[in-house]
Chains A and B, each alone.
Chain A
Amino acid sequence: MPSVTIDGQTFEFEGRPGLLQFCLQHGLEVPHFCYHPAMSAPANCRQCLVDVGTPEMDRETRQPRLDEAGNPVIRFFPKLQTSCTMEITDGMVVKSHRSSEAVERAQKDNLELLLINHPLDCPICDQAGHCPLQIQAYKYGPEGSRFEFEKVNKPKHIPLGPQVMLDGERCINCTRCVRFTTEISESHQLTIIERGVRNYPMTPPGVTFDEPYSMNVIDICPVGALTSRDSRFKARIWEMSRTASVTTGGANGNNCYYWVKDNQIMKVTPRDNPSVNEYWLPDEERLDYHRFNDDRPEGPAIGKIKTDWNAAYDAAASLLKDADASRVVFMGSAYATVEDNYLLMKLAASLGADAPTYIPHIEEGHGDDWLRTDDRSPNREGCERLGMMPAGDSLAARLNAGEVDVLYVLEEDPVAAGLATTEQLANVRVILHAYNTTNQTMPAADVFLPAATVVETVGTFVNHKGHAQRVRPAKAIRGMNRTLMMEVGKSRADLHGTPFDRWHDESNLVDCQPGWVSLPAVAIRLGHAMDYRGPKYIMHEIADSIDAFDGATYAAMGEQGVRLEDVGAAV
């Protein structure tokens, strides 16, 4: 197999891998700014220079020429080469800053140059703390600067569009943002204007940077030139914990990080997953977090009266116990996890009621064949695989005919969905698990059980392509130890958190419960034990008992999720 020697270490390779990507994949850091694996390599930042040599070939024999010791004679390129544009060939010898003083010097020089016109306003820059320029300047840059002149002045705080703010002075002209709009989103809404050291990205005349994926340029910007108008100045990066999860604004299950400070979601950023969303996330899903922070109910209620959880469970159980099972309607949810929907199905079955249905949330024309889908709910596929049927018009007819005594709603809003009106529900006893006080079915609720949102629970969503993925609790809730639910010690999965961080403060704790806590609590009061040690074990049972989930364990899903077909689940 062909091989390459990097800093004296030999690696085998297949095909024609790019040198920089190859180094990064093998844990050999090479500083870089403009290179991004999903986009073309313009080699403009000049940071990833390395010394490259190839074996000298004998023209006649077409074999590498050997020296006296029998080693191939290596001919080095006369100039240092950008590793981002270099393809690895057999026998190549590469010297990075780890083994070449010339390379180390070149990288240091380049950082000195990058910094001469870059404002050193890190203390007020949102990028500080996770800034590639800051980090690499510390690691590879010079001490101090020899630049004694006024820096170039460029436009600052320029809104490029509704979501993205430009600080031209911080820009280092890597053109990642421009390449994103030309090569990835193809909106062509950004270009570089001016010339030379005055260059900065801008929209063409008369154009607003308002494409549905505009905020991705914020993540790929290697400095603080492009910041989010929504979240800038709200929290420093080291004040937040980030939790790997998925978004719930569509059916694609885009992988994301939820960033939390003081138990409030501050922002949502994409998490790399080549089989789901690569590196990207639509703007609408980044901005769809205020519902996790705002309009949250405080504790359960019976009627309009606040109560404690035990009383609320008792009330819900007694409503169910007293009702004729054929006159009880259970409604699941494409917003709820597979586990919670499964428990609801078990509860309905244990009472002998009809199986729960779910409400589809299709918005024709919303999808774009990329990361946005017509389906605005995250788990329709999961509901279907559980065997749940979409709720039809029959509910209204049954309500009008007076055939329903109890309506049990899990994390849904049938009134807002147009399936029922509050008038129709006036004579129906409604048990409602809901996230927000904006839920329009809430006024009709007889027993109200505040539900944990996707950022506060553990569970599984199945995207529209059958990719099962886990969600993890990003925020803590009252009465639930988040770190226990993380299944890892301390805050390891948080990456930025520490044992002393703000998880332990009491601010903004919502008094709510995930379905996998509240549904068993109701069930046990009806004499039906649902004894699970946690959602993981619920999923085990689902995987064992339902063919469409065969093999779908938490272990199989891991961080990146799993295509259910690939683990043997029935399609």
Chain B
Amino acid sequence: MEAKSGKAGDWRSYERVLLPKVKDYHQLEVYEANGGYKALREILTNDKWDPTAVTNEVKKSGLKGRGGAGFPTGLKWSFMPPVVEGVPRYLCCNGDESEPGTFKDRQLLEYNPHAVFEGMLIASYAMSLAGSYLYIRGEYADWITHMEGELKKAYDKGYVGKNIMGSGFSSELVIHKGAGAYICGEESSLMNSLEGKRAYPRVKPPFPAQKGIWGYPTTINNVETLAAVPYIINRGGAWFAGTGAEKHPGPVLYGISGHVNRPGVYEYPTGMLMTDLIYEVAGGIRGGKKLKAVVPGGSSTPVLRADMIEGVTMDADSLREAGSMMGTSGMLVMDEDTDMVSFLRRITHFYHHESCGQCTPCREGTGWLENIVTRIDEGEGHLRDLDLLVDLCSEMEGRTVCALADAAAWPVRYTIDRFRSEFEAKCRASLVSSGIDLAEVSA
């Protein structure tokens, strides 16, 4: 069929893979009846699948990490050092989904947990490791309980644990519940949290593949990334590579929230037109209003004005050109009535609240940003505050151990850059209310 729009082909006829229309797919019996654990059986029983072959298939698929950074998954797996007898190595599935506007992993954990397990087991095989962790944010308590039940079923069936399916390959899988901190989603911080330490990000190098969990080689992948793996094995890397945008392929879960008629998680190929997602998939702007701004991939990705999204597709290249990032593909949609200062105030509050406090620029800077934005929002700002905010962003960006400072600074930098008049208006309003002659100030 001809591509209708964007790079996603005819997305209207796309059939869901990660979240198929199957009732009770989260239960082992249903998952099995619909081809579940087939990929795992295939790689464990068919001699053509040695660990390198599995990794190569994932490389061939072009799968890029779905956690925000978009690093090629197969390449990441190949960074694991050669196996050394007696030296453990780990896989960790990062389910600490906590970026505002991002809620797609939750959907997988709830409706398709066995694909996550299966993907983790296949990855374990590909990287020749015998132990993996599934780190899930603590707020997903109900699903964690449910997943633990499903994992036990998988253990009982011999899909996980010792000598899986009689193949001789053994791999343990442990679900670990986080305790509610955004920073735990940062991979090195997650490892510290998993080890029972304070969740401070680690200095890199050494990278996790060199020195990860308990000091041993570790790979960390996002939930959605690993959930895609069984389908890549079943359908072939070529199928995945041929879905969606060429350089950023595959099915992807779009989490759309904000002022749209039908917010939710939608599975479609990458490379979809942003406008299709907003106006077709999510049913357009609530109340028939006009679009004002979109944050394409979670709160830390730079906000785009409505006039900037024409023809922009949901893949790394197109979004970079447009001046933003794919991030977690959690899209925040804002209508014409949105107060961008209030929006930014909420975002800065989040990063202030969640900065772990390890590095000076982030610990001190996030709070200061919130202070200033709050002051402007409350009508007590000064025009000079805007330059100070941008200056503070420069003081924070790229000067910390992890990327939280960047994540906190970008929304400030780009929201001011792209909506400066709104900020100035609020600052001017404060001058008016304080009785200062505006003509004098601007002169």
B-binding residues in A (CB < 8 A): 41-47, 49, 78-80, 82, 85, 106, 109-110, 112-114, 116-117, 146-147, 149, 152, 172-173, 191-192, 194-199
Contact = CB atoms under 8 A, between A and B. Distances in A.
Interface residues of B, number: 29
B363 A173 contact: yes
10 contacts: A44-B401, A46-B359, A46-B361, A82-B203, A113-B360, A117-B367, A146-B388, A194-B357, A196-B354, A196-B366
A316 B400 CA distance: 72
B181 interface: yes
A45 B399 CA distance: 10
Interface in B27-68: none
Nearest to B204: A85
Interface in B381-436: 388, 394-395, 398-401
B364 A116 contact: yes
Contacts, number: 91
A43 B203 contact: yes
Contact of B361 (A109, A172, A196): A109
B360 A196 contact: no
Nearest to A80: B399
Given A42-B203, A79-B399, A106-B399, A199 B357 contact: yes
Contacts of A49: 399
B371 interface: yes
Given A85-B203, A147-B368, A196 B395 contact: no
B367 A191 contact: no
Contact of A42 (B181, B353, B358, B361): B358
Contacts of B358: 42, 44, 173
B200 A114 contact: no
A538 to B, nearest CB: 54
Given A46-B359, A197-B363, 5 more contacts: A46-B399, A47-B360, A109-B361, A149-B375, A195-B354
A181 to B, nearest CB: 13
Given A113-B365, A116-B364, A147-B368, A195 B357 contact: yes
B399 A195 contact: no
B16 to A, nearest CB: 38
Contact of B360 (A79, A146, A149, A172): A172
A85 B206 CA distance: 11
Given A44-B401, A196-B354, A113 B364 contact: yes
Interface of B: 181, 198, 200, 203, 352-361, 363-368, 371, 375, 388, 394-395, 398-401
A41 B280 CA distance: 52
B203 A196 contact: no
B398 A79 contact: yes
A177 to B, nearest CB: 14
Chain A CB within 10 A, most for which of B353, B368, B375: B368
A44 B359 contact: yes
Contacts of B359: 43-46
A360 to B, nearest CB: 45
Contacts of B354: 195-196
B17 to A, nearest CB: 37
B398 A149 contact: no
A117 B401 CA distance: 21
A315 B26 CA distance: 101
Contacts of A147: 368
B352 A196 contact: yes
A43 B401 contact: yes
A195 B356 contact: yes
Contacts of B399: 46, 49, 79-80, 106, 109-110
A191 B200 CA distance: 12
Contacts of B365: 113
Contact of B368 (A45, A116, A195): A116
Contact of A192 (B198, B355, B395): B198
Contacts of B363: 173, 196-197, 199
Given A42-B200, A44-B401, A198 B357 contact: yes
B278 to A, nearest CB: 34
B210 to A, nearest CB: 14
